[in-house]
Amino acid sequence: MSTTFTLIGISAIAVSLLGYYFQKYGPPPPPKIAGIDLGTTYSSIAVFLPASGQTIVIEDKLGKKSIPSVVGFLGNGEIVVGTKAVEQQETNPSNTIYDAKRFIGKRFEENDPQFQMDRNRYPFTIKLDSEGFALFEIEEKGVKRLIRPEEIGSIIISYLQKMVLEFYGANIKEVVISVPTEFDQMQRTYTNKTVDLAGMNVRRIISEPTAAALAYGLHEKKGVEYIVVVDIGIIFLFNFLSHFVVKWVKFD
């Protein structure tokens, strides 16, 4: 009997030591949750590494951390995302969709002058369903079909998910995703649906300024009562640069 207890004790110690060894010297556990910025122009994904406490922004095969939010549908049925989609955009404009985020969870009216003006500036065809939600018309293998903005978003998210899989070998299923502050409940619901279509689960939806403040850890600093976050969108920045000459820039 004493021998049995001795063996059990030795086994328990061995398991504990083995666990300690792998925790200290073994490979770190793969990330289980990611943060996604599904942007109008660019998108990115970052993962939290529990062993080191670091958050790493993932690169794609081209070394890009900011992925163009562009999806191209080729004639042979292939779908390209990001930089590759941009590269073929000039020769395939009617089947290359961008700015899809602007249409997620929003209703439009066919006779609205603003919608008509916005629609006319895109090289691809935009239609409305019976409820006023946008649909993009694409052609694959000679057959035209309609695709929703959420489907475009899910293709981009799946691409980001694949980046993590290739980088860490981890198939991420849980995400926190950021949305613009002005997104209403319907837009947030459809953003959640976009993630669902990519086969992932939304743990939390946060506004983009909140995400920026959290990234800098401003909520943990003593004496900080109010935080001002300025979100300079890329479209605003392009307009700014087209009217002014920037002489000097400094970033903290």
**Cα 65 from Cα 56, distance rounded (Å):** 10
**Cα 156 from Cα 162, distance rounded (Å):** 10
CA distances from 196 to 46, 54, 163, 190 (A): 18, 26, 18, 9
Residues 6+ apart with CB under 8 A from 3: none
Under a CB-based contact definition with an 8 Å cutoff, are residues 161 and 172 in contact?
A: yes
**Catalytic residue IDs:** 37, 101, 208, 231
